[in-house]
């Protein structure tokens, strides 16, 4: 059985007036310091005994088995997602290359209409690049497919020009391949439309 709880005695302090102090309009209370100290000692003893019980019944941290299970689950998930990512990446890079070439064709067509002059568009499988340029050779935009990765390459070359009316002088298809043997084709029609298949 623990120590007996002592109720602290409360002493009333009635209104008083001292030099420089205001009159206390309400009852003021204070506790005897000796009683307060004994009360604090009792509370500390009870708190320590409660803490001791909690620490002995509930060990802190994780067991080795729990850590190994978590590491194994993380490893399995990483392996599954890594394999899926490696299959998805070449196809994503191929689509990125096709979107960029379509965007360059559209830029060339818009510039030709806006400037009311012929704009050249050329893709070379030798250099693996596509270029939008003026007829005097000044480059407006250039794209190197080698920077994409996944072995993305042009399988064929195409040289065409867009007129001030937005039509292509030469129609053609630009096949794009990757190291997973997938192929996407960008087709430029004489009407000036560009399609991907």
| Geometric angle at alpha carbon 30, from 29 and 32, rounded to 5° | 145
- pLDDT value at 28 more than 50: no
pLDDT classification of 80: cutoffs 50, 70, 90: confident
- Name which of 183, 188, 185 is nearest 161 in CA terms: 188
Q: What is the pLDDT of residues 103-143, one digit of tens each?
A: 999 999 999 999 999 999 999 999 999 999 999 999 999 99
Select the more confidently predicted residue: 54 or 89: 89
Every domain of the chain and the residues it spans:
89-196
Secondary structure of residue 86 in the 3-state scheme: helix
Indicate whether this model's pTM tops 0.75.
Answer: no
Any bridge partners for residue 194, and if so which?
188
Is domain 89-196 annotated with CATH 3.55.40.10?
A: yes
Query: Cα–Cα distance between 45 and 54 in angstroms, integer?
Result: 15
Does position 10 have pLDDT exceeding 80, yes or no? no
């Amino acid at each position: 059985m623990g120590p007996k709880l002592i109720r602290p005695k409360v002493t009333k302090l009635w209104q008083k007036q001292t030099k420089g102090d205001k009159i206390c309009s309400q009852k003021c209370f204070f506790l005897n310091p000796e009683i307060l100290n004994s009360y604090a000692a009792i509370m500390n003893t009870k708190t320590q005994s409660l803490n001791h019980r909690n620490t002995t019944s509930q060990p802190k941290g994780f067991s080795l088995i729990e850590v190994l299970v978590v590491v194994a689950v993380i490893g399995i998930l990483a392996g599954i997602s890594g394999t899926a990512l490696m299959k998805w990446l070449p196809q994503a890079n191929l689509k990125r290359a096709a979107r960029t070439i379509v965007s360059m064709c559209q830029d060339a067509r818009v510039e030709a209409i806006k400037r009311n002059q012929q704009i050249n568009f050329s893709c070379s499988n030798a250099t693996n690049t596509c270029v939008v340029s003026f007829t005097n050779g000044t480059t407006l935009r250039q794209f190197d497919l080698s920077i994409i990765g996944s072995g993305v390459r042009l399988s064929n070359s195409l040289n065409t020009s867009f007129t001030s009316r937005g039509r292509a002088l030469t129609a053609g298809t630009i096949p794009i391949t990757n190291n997973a043997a997938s192929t996407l084709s960008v087709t430029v029609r004489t009407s000036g439309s560009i399609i991907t298949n």
